[in-house]
Amino acid sequence: MFHNILFMKIGVFDSGYGGLTILSKIRERLPQYDYVYLGDNARTPYGTRSFEVIYAYTWQCVRRLFDEGCELVILACNTASAKALRSIQQCELLDVWKTEGSDRKRVLGVIRPTVEMVIGDQAKTPHVGVLATPGTVASQSYVIEINKLMPQAVVTQQACPMWVPLIEAGEHTVEGADFFVKKYVNELLSKDRQIDRIILGCTHYPLLYDKIRQFTPPSVKLIVQGDIVASSLADYLKRHSELERCLNKGGTCRYLTTEHPEKFSESATLFLSEPVSAEYVALK
Ligand code: DGL
């Protein structure tokens, strides 16, 4: 599909609402661009699904964002970044899209930038904890990426299968949610008593930040991805001026969802503290 190359947008994809925590930070940092957010709310959660299913779903969503005129797509979802990013980047179909539409189409994930920031130029060996979905944990993506940058880093993971469903159901602020927050945090900390930083490796988890903080010793740093991804994107666009030049600078954002748009609008308005009016999309 051809698009006017002067009206290109940035696509942000997540399995549901969680990616809004990344989008809001990206828009704070780079308000000038036009964005399209796609939440696959009808099929969330992704975190408990197989590689094949996550890959197929993510590809459908990425293609839809290409159709919407997105030149660059950010997989804000850690599970999709862990399970589908590499295959999509290496997929011949992406090359077909590039030749049919434009040769600049890019798909980027959130794990690598998070890891680069977490490891930085550490003097001492970090003990890193990762809280993430079962899919992200099983993929070992964080362990692999961290150890590529720093082989001696100690990485301990904990899957938190109940957190996304609690958030998607809007039940994350209730007292009952404390049980599952405490349970996974304690399980992680008991595996390595020296953990000094914890990556919240799922876009939904910043919504549980206060509860996670409550059950984590103050000396342990909690790492939230929004600002990291935003500054990594800013840096990427600086380094890729040929792409940056084609991005439309209207400061707009459209919200697409595969579920009821009214429900999305209502929840997204709460997430973002600004009025959101979402549109329904059927994926092919
Ligand atoms: N928000 C996604 C992530 O960052 C996962 C949520 C889901 O399980 O769908 O991993």
- Sheet with 221-223: list strands edge to edge: 154-159, 127-132, 197-200, 221-223
**Pairwise CA distance, residues 61 & 281, whole Å:** 10
Rounded average pLDDT over 170-192: 96
How close is the Cα of 135 to the center of ligand 1, in Å? 9
Ligand 1 atom with minimal separation from the 203 CA? 4
Closest by alpha carbon to 114, among 22, 213, 210? Answer: 22
Lowest mean pLDDT among 64-73, 103-112, 128-137: 103-112
61 is catalytic: no
Among the ranges given (117-121, 240-244, 250-254), the one the predictor scored with the smallest mean pLDDT: 117-121
Residue 255 CA to residue 65 CA, distance in Å, equals 11
Q: Are 230 and 111 spatial neighbours (Cβ–Cβ below 8 Å)?
A: no
What's 17's DSSP letter? S
Percent of the chain with pLDDT over 70: 92
pLDDT at 95: 59
> What secondary structure does DSSP assign to 158-199, as a single string?
EE-TTHHHHHHTT-TTSTTHHHHHHHHHHHHHHH-TT--EEE
Judge whether residue 100 has pLDDT over 70: no
Residues with CB under 6 Å of ligand 1 are 14-16, 18, 44-47, 77-79, 133, 136, 164, 202-204
**Catalytic site residue from 70, 77, 160, 253:** 77
Confidence (pLDDT) at 270: 78
Atom of ligand 1 nearest to the CA of 202: 4
Output the CA 266–ligand 1 centroid distance in Å.
20
Q: What is the pLDDT of residues 13-22, one digit of tens each?
A: 999 989 999 9
pTM tops 0.85: yes
Name, in order, each residue with C-beta under 8 angstroms of 127's C-beta and a sequence gap of 6 or more: 153, 154, 156, 192, 194, 195, 196, 197
pLDDT (tens digit per residue) in 108-159 = 999 999 999 998 767 688 999 999 999 999 999 999 999 999 999 999 999 9
Ligand 1 nearest-atom number relative to CA 45: 9
91 is catalytic: no
Give me the pLDDT at residue 208, please: 95
* Confidence at residue 265, expressed as pLDDT on a 0 to 100 scale: 96
CA of 133 relative to ligand 1 center, distance in Å? 6
pLDDT of residue 104: 64
Q: Ligand 1 centre from 15 Cα, in Å?
A: 6
Taken in order of first residue, the domains within the chain and their CATH numbers are 5-109+227-280 (3.40.50.1860), 111-225 (3.40.50.1860)
User: Which of the following is catalytic: 61, 70, 160, 202?
Assistant: 202
